[in-house]
Structures are given as structure tokens and as C-alpha cells.
Amino acid sequence: MSAAEASTVEEPTGDRRADFARFVELFYTRKRVGEAFAFLVADDYRQHNPNIPDGPAIAVEMLTPKFDGSPEARFSVQRTLVDGDLAVVHLRASRPGAPDTAVADFYRFEGDRIVEHWDVLQAVPETPVHDHPLF
């Protein structure tokens, strides 16, 4: 993010549902990882994905190629939930040449910032044994 962009970063409104909706839009729909993290993620962000270290800067560095750097990737948000200090986004991740993935990202807030993240990923089977979709 450039200095000019950093000076125009949005601040959370204090409405957790609205702020999380904005974060989801920036991160998953618009694929603007750095802007999403600058908007809502705390400096002491803890990452529970075992492949990504703690801290927002390293998360942005590692996630940007999968989002901003992958114009062909699509992240279709299916539902979001905000309850107390927890928020969840359930989505379908699609990339050409790879099976789709069902993703559930869980976030914990302290005050108006995200301080923790967990995720669960599952490949979408080509031939499920039942007719109810993952989405």
C-alpha cells in the first residue's frame, strides 16, 4: 500500500456487522488484502492457520498473491455471521485448473479490530454422495 493509500485508509465505524461486511467486501470480493487488513485487523493479530505466522504484515504478504495477485481466482461469499466478538464468513474459492474449495474463516474481535483468525478448508467433491450442496 502506498503512502497516499495509507493516508486514506478507512477507520472502523464501531458497528461490528457493518465493519465486518466492509472487510469481507474488500478482502474476498475486491481482493484488496492490504486495504482490508489496514481497515480492520489489529497490530497484535494472531493467526491460527499453521502455515501463516502471526501479525498482519506477514499475513498480507502471504495472502496477497492468492487474492490481489490472482485475477482469475474467485471468492464467492455464501454467508456471513457476526455474534458478539466472533465473525464468520463462509465462501466458495475457485481457481482455474483446481477443484473448488469450501472455506469457513472465523475471526475474533477485541474492540473494533480483528485480533484472531482460524480457518477450515474442504475440497468440493465432484461427485458427492448426497444432493445437498456445501453452499
Identify whether 99 is part of a domain.
yes
Query: How far is CA 35 from each of CA 23, 30, 56, 124, rounded to the nearest angstrom?
Result: 9, 10, 11, 29
Look up residue 85 and give its three cell numbers: 466478538
Residue 129: per-residue pLDDT: 87
Q: The domain that contains 13 carries what CATH number?
A: 3.10.450.50
Identify whether 130 is part of a domain.
no
Q: Which residues make beta-bridge pairs with 46?
A: 116
- Which residues form the domain of 63? 3-123
pLDDT at 3 over 70: no
Residue 81: per-residue pLDDT: 98
Overall domain count for the chain: 1
Identify whether 133 is part of a domain.
no
Question: How confident is the model over 82-132, as pLDDT tens digits?
Answer: 999 999 999 999 988 889 999 999 999 999 999 999 999 999 988 888 888
pTM of this structure = 0.89
Question: How confident is the model over 56-73, as pLDDT tens digits?
Answer: 999 999 999 988 878 899
Identify whether 131 is part of a domain.
no
Identify whether 62 is part of a domain.
yes
